[in-house]
Amino acid sequence: MNLVLFDLDNTLLSGDSDFAWAQFLISRGVLDREIYEARNLTFFEQYKAGTLDIFEFLDFQLAPLARHPRALLDAWHREFMAECIRPMITQAARILVRHHLAAGDLVAVVTATNSFVTGPIAREFAIPHLVATIPAQEAGRFTGKPRGMPSFKAGKIQRVDDWLESLGLYFGSFADTVFYSDSHNDLPLMEKVRRPVAVDPDDILRRHALGAGWDILSLRD
């Protein structure tokens, strides 16, 4: 059996679900455009530059979840899936995921984006496992804070290790280990697996992949 891990934003999706969720809430009037749009853009640029403070970002990104009941958040998310996420999913991405699932690989999405936003997206791909940043809850409501280590940069390795351990497995349990990602932020996990694959990579990752002889592919239609 092989282990196959997928980053989500700008890898399986031709866009960023974290950024899009905040923009969706702004478009609905849930978040103030003047305040939130500029901060959302700033955090997105910091992520691309590799300078993002993940805890500062999570304070921004998770706070709106704490202000609204879960039923309303779920209703907004269904609209978000239809309007924003499904248009970001290419046929090539669906085919690649189906190929690995049909091969009997252990498949997971490994993403820094929180599990409220990404859980339904993983299910859209029929991917059975999700390793994501977890938004803390109390009595069925989000607190606005993360629980445990964010699934970001080197934190992705620890979170994947913990997930595999919960299944009685570890990286050495597999004939092959694969990680698909677009971002240089994922270099720690890419260097952990046997077969890293750069998917529509950013410039930094592209240079690294070319120098290391890694596979490079595109999932854009």
Q: Are 128 and 106 in contact (CB under 8 A)?
A: no
User: pLDDT tens, 2-32?
Assistant: 999 999 999 999 999 999 999 999 999 999 8
Give me the sheet containing 195-199, strands edge to edge.
141-147, 129-138, 106-114, 3-6, 177-181, 195-199, 215-217
Catalytic residue among 7, 18, 182, 186: 7
What pLDDT is recorded for position 74? Answer: 97
What pLDDT is recorded for position 36? Answer: 87
User: Which residue, among 4, 5, 1, 3, has the nearest Cα to 186 in the 3D structure?
Assistant: 5
What pLDDT is recorded for position 35? Answer: 84
What pLDDT is recorded for position 107? Answer: 98
Catalytic residue among 9, 18, 105, 182: 9
Low-confidence ranges of the chain (pLDDT < 50): none
What pLDDT is recorded for position 166? Answer: 98
Alpha helix positions (H), the chain:
17-27, 33-49, 54-62, 70-80, 91-102, 115-124, 155-166, 187-192, 203-212
| Neighbouring residues of 112: CB distance < 8 A, sequence distance ≥ 6 | 9, 18, 54, 132, 133, 150, 151, 152, 153, 156, 185
Using the structure block, give the residue that is written with the tokens 């977890």.
134
Alpha helix positions (H), 113-154:
115-124
User: pLDDT tens, 35-45?
Assistant: 888 898 899 89
What separation, in Å, do the N-terminal and C-terminal C-alpha atoms of the chain show?
A: 30
- Distance (Å) of CA 141 to CA 9, 54, 63, 135, 197: 26, 22, 12, 10, 37
186 catalytic per annotation: no
Give the domains, in start order, of the chain with CATH numbers.
3-217 (3.40.50.1000)
176 catalytic per annotation: no
What pLDDT is recorded for position 140? Answer: 87
Q: HSE of 215 in the Cβ direction (CA atoms, 13 Å)?
A: 12
- Distance (Å) of CA 106 to CA 33, 121, 155, 176, 202: 41, 18, 20, 11, 27
pTM beyond 0.85: the answer is yes
